[in-house]
Structure 1
Amino acid sequence: MSNNHYQSLGVTLTSSPEEIRFAYRNLARLHHPDKHQGRTSPQMLAINEAWRVLSDPVLRYQYDASLRVRLDDERDVATAQTQERLRSIVDDVRGQRFTPAKFPWRFVLGIVVTGTVAILVLGAFSNPGEVTPIDNVIRVGSCVNVDDVRLEAWEVECAGVHDGVVKQMVPFDSDCPYGSMPYRDRQGMGQACVALS
């Protein structure tokens, strides 16, 4: 009828003794010989054997242990079969010779050289950028003249005469890095750290 006693009674491995007794009684009523003209059905034999084993705590413990061993053996067999299949695949792969794919070094080198030449040619024939107009907003890299009495700086053209170049803009309460002097921005944006020329 089924593979194990639990399946014969329609219960699980974790079923309580009361659940097993209830399942046994229901199945025994269903398959009893009195309901089948006095003939004992094969199902009734399996149900009685399952009840005999599962109703006794010692026999049930031994039966559960044997089920665990059987499941472990089945897992071990499946694992061994899987390992054997993997070994055969690895052996097949080892028997074949694989050549690594060739990288197109010449093509890549040609692209790099062409790109470098194009950049150099475009740089040589392009016009210099437009001079940024003076907008009186001091930024890093702006050329400035300074007033040493008022400690102020204002923006001038870099192409003309200038006192220095702004290296950094800092808040009023911060110090300028070494090599630059703090001058107040006329716009009140903070201090311009100027490297004097």
Structure 2
Amino acid sequence: MAGIRSHYDVLGIDRRADAARIRNAYRERARIVHPDRVATGSASEMAALNEAYRVLGDPGRRAVYDRTLDGGGPSSATGSAAPAGRSATTDDDDLIATIRRTTYNYDAPTLEPARVPWRFLAVLATIGIGSVLLGAALIDGPTEREPDGVIRSGSCVEILPNTDVREVRCEGAGDLVVDRLIPLESRCPGGTSPHRDRLGLGIACVLPPTPAAPATSSAG
């Protein structure tokens, strides 16, 4: 029987891992499975790794995901059929069982469609709306994302002596901003300059720096 993998399994960490451990685990695994770096790399494994980091690297998504893992019953983990006389499960349990069988068991056979868990979806929608409203109340204007070392579109970078780039905090005018990250054998579009990501995960297509606005004269 094919094993069931969670996002924690994909990254090779336990559920007590902090944000730094998650980030480091992602980098270590990416060096091993990225299809552009090693002959044994797998596009599907890299996709699973990216999804695991997308969920566990965000505190809000991770909290919802952990609730999903905690809510699964024994029958969902083993995949055995429940007896005919079992008690009715809640909508939450149905969704959790479906997620664990279809999302994390990549070799699982096609399953019959599950009931639509309207109540669980309503709870998730409420949590999402509350998070957005809370964020809007706490944040006064836009703030820049703190660099985590993983270059992506919109990342600010600096060019190293060997022409590789690494992510840095965005400061404003004069920043070097990544337009996109492409595979190592691809070519950057016109108007950008190619620089290898220092982790070797691809080529960063860097836009020209934005010039600072000219100072205005106060003389009347």
TM-score bin (small chain): 0.3 to 0.5
Of structures 1 and 2, the one with the larger relative CO (CA 8 A, separation 6+) is 2
Larger Rg: 1
Q: What TM-score results when the alignment is normalised by the length of structure 1?
A: 0.35
The structure that is helix-richer by fraction is: 1
